[in-house]
């Protein structure tokens, strides 16, 4: 019998806790947005568009790391307090590679690590 690979992801726009469920235990990996050190600019108006584009690139790289982590799972629950989970879901829906993965979204508040683990275990029972 093949065991279904299941993952819960609590996320906001800067950090994601990827929790693989294995035999009622959770194996956690953390993915954080990588932002380069801020550059000092005395005329910030000139570089506003550049800073915006950098921010978009950092967010895109963050989502890509999460997407790469869930390719081999059959069931995924995305949860957290911000719209980041819905943004990620929209990216996944646009990629045919994820059509066979059962991906659900659920709102939640900030949680402790214990609460996140309990939520994911209960969700997949």
pLDDT tens-digit map of 37-64: 655 444 555 678 888 888 889 999 999 9
Measured between alpha carbons, how far is 16 from 39 in angstroms, rounded to an integer? 26
Instruction: Give the pLDDT confidence score for residue 40 in this predicted structure.
Output: 46
Residues 80-91 pLDDT 10s: 999 999 999 999
Mark residue 112 as left, alpha or beta (left: phi above 0; alpha: psi -120 to 50; beta: remaining): beta
Higher pLDDT, residue 55 or 108: 108
Burial of 87 (0-12, 13-18, 19+ CB in 10 A): middle
Instruction: Give the pLDDT confidence score for residue 3 in this predicted structure.
Output: 62
Instruction: Give the pLDDT confidence score for residue 46 in this predicted structure.
Output: 61
Measured between alpha carbons, how far is 92 from 24 in angstroms, rounded to an integer? 26
The average pLDDT across 18-44 equals 80
Topology of domain 6-33+48-124, per CATH? Nucleotidyltransferase; domain 5 (3.30.420)
Please check the confidence at residue 36 and state whether its pLDDT lies above 80. no
The pTM score is 0.86
| C-beta separation of 103 from 76 below 8 A | yes
Instruction: Give the pLDDT confidence score for residue 24 in this predicted structure.
Output: 82
DSSP state of 29: E
């Amino acid at each position: 019998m093949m065991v279904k690979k299941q993952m819960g992801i609590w996320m906001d726009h800067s950090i994601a806790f990827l929790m693989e469920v294995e035999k009622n235990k959770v194996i956690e990996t953390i993915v954080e947005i990588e932002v380069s050190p801020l550059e000092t600019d005395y005329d910030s108006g000139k570089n506003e568009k550049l800073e915006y584009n950098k921010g978009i690139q950092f967010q895109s790289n963050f989502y890509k790391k999460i997407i790469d982590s869930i390719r081999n799972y059959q069931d995924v629950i995305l949860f957290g307090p911000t719209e980041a989970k819905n943004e990620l879901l929209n990216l996944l829906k646009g990629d045919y590679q994820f059509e066979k993965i059962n991906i659900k979204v659920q709102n939640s508040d900030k949680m402790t690590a214990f609460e996140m683990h309990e939520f994911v275990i209960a969700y997949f029972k």
